[in-house]
Amino acid sequence: MTLRNDRLLRALRRQAVDCTPVWFMRQAGRYLPEYRQLREKYDFLTLSQNPELAAQITLMPLQRFELDAVILFADILLPLVGVGVDLEYTASGDGPLIRNTLRNAADVERLRVPSPEESVPFVLEAIRLARPLLDGRVPLIGFAGAPFTLASYLIEGGASRNYQRTKAFMFQERVAWRELLEKLTHLTSDYLRAQVRAGAQALQLFDSWVGCLAPSDYQDYVLPYSRQVILAARSEGVPVIHFGTGTAGLLEAMREAGGDVIGIDWRIDLDAAWQRVGPKVGIQGNLDPTALLGPWPEVQRRVQDILDRAAGRPGHIFNLGHGLLPETPLENVAALVDYVHEHTQR
């Protein structure tokens, strides 16, 4: 099926575009009243394990905004259930909670690496249902958590301030760490390949928490695994976005690990980041999601600053530096999408 809007895929390959493509991390989520309404009836895991509902939520943001892509409604932690983890999403919405955290080498040994068809058939089915619903309007982005970020959840059990347990495990249990990352690399590679075979047209690898690492530790303990996942994903013929937050110290190394486009947050200026990774990859980002809570003229000023720094280079994909906040006013989202399209006409 031909895509009627292929701006995102063109930008991912650094080809010429009629205007800069724009989509948002967490665009299928709690800032949408129609999503919150569904959440009153069903909890998050129920929604994500129901392919019909997940496909429907994936398309929700398109009904409101002229976005250039949709991202599959799922979560980076879903494939961990089949590994042997008790995953819960707390009712308060504070995020995921894993009770049986990894403590030692024996715990790593016990982890299974099931096939995605066995452990997350509902995600693959949601992709198969979303594609015909999209009917070629925009591409569908699939995604996975990168091995480091997944490992951090398995070890910490949830969000963390400083990733102390994860880093202590990494430094003290060096052999078990490698075994853990190898298992997660295998799991994530198979998962991303299966998503492409089900119909995902681009992929994003979320290494959300990798910015807590020193560059040399990233090189030693993380880079080889992320590189392997990205190679596996690209072997299916789709472009890959490699995203992390707080990565100003890691950009060259992340680029070395791979990705057609590097996703950055707002803690570094977009032009400075691009200079660091060089012209052979694109950049996705990088508005501070908190800025979108503010009055539109202030948002507009920051958006224009990002566009000025991107300077019409091929390979810029407009996004936030992290996910949309649940409190984000819908009218700011709509105005932002239109502003980017109107002010980047080539």
- Compare residues 46 and 104 and give the one whose CB is closer to ligand CP3: 46
- Answer yes or no whether residue 139 interacts with ligand CP3 by CB under 6 A: no
Q: Which of 93, 132, 279, 312 binds ligand CP3 (CB under 6 A)?
A: 93
Q: How far is the CB of 207 from ligand CP3 (least distance, A)?
A: 9
Q: Which of 191, 206, 266, 274 binds ligand CP3 (CB under 6 A)?
A: 206
Query: How far apart, in whole angstroms, are the C-alpha atoms of residue 4 and residue 136?
Result: 6
309 is catalytic: no
Q: Which of 7, 10, 14, 26 binds ligand CP3 (CB under 6 A)?
A: 26
Give the x/- contact pattern for ligand CP3 in 50-89, rule: CB under 6 A: ---------------------x-xxxxx-----------x
- Answer yes or no whether residue 226 interacts with ligand CP3 by CB under 6 A: no
42 is catalytic: no
- Answer yes or no whether residue 96 interacts with ligand CP3 by CB under 6 A: yes
153 is catalytic: yes
Candidates 21-29, 107-115, 226-234, 249-257; binding stretch for ligand CP3 (CB under 6 A): 21-29
For residue 27, which of 65, 55, 80 has the smallest C-alpha distance? Answer: 65
Q: How far is the CB of 30 from ligand CP3 (least distance, A)?
A: 5
4 is catalytic: no
Q: What are phi and psi of 18, to 5 degrees?
A: -75, -30
Query: What secondary structure, in 3-state letters, does the chain show?
Result: CCCCCCHHHHHHCCCCCCCCCECCCCCCCCCCHHHHHHHHHCCHHHHHCCHHHHHHHHHHHHHCCCCCCEECCCCCCHHHHHHHCCEEECCCCCCEEECCCCCCHHHHHHCCCCCHHHHCHHHHHHHHHHHHHHCCCCCEEEEEECHHHHHHHHHHCCCCCCCHHHHHHHHHCHHHHHHHHHHHHHHHHHHHHHHHHHCCCEEEEEECCHHHCCHHHHHHHCHHHHHHHHHHHHCCCCCEEEEECCCCCCHHHHHHHCCCEEECCCCCCHHHHHHHHCCCCEEEEEECHHHHHCCHHHHHHHHHHHHHHHCCCCCEEEEECCCCCCCCCHHHHHHHHHHHHHCCCC
Give the rounded distance of the alpha carbon of 231 from its chain centre: 17
- Answer yes or no whether residue 242 interacts with ligand CP3 by CB under 6 A: no
Q: How far is the CB of 2 from ligand CP3 (least distance, A)?
A: 25
Q: How far is the CB of 31 from ligand CP3 (least distance, A)?
A: 10
Tokens of 307: 């566009």
- Compare residues 253 and 320 and give the one whose CB is closer to ligand CP3: 320
260 is catalytic: no
Q: Which of 166, 188, 201, 208 binds ligand CP3 (CB under 6 A)?
A: 208
Give the x/- contact pattern for ligand CP3 in 144-183, rule: CB under 6 A: ---------------x------------------------
- Compare residues 258 and 323 and give the one whose CB is closer to ligand CP3: 323
Site residues, ligand CP3 (CB under 6 A)? 25-30, 39, 44, 71, 73-77, 89, 93, 95-96, 143, 159, 206, 208, 322-323
> What residues are labeled active site?
26, 30, 39, 75, 153
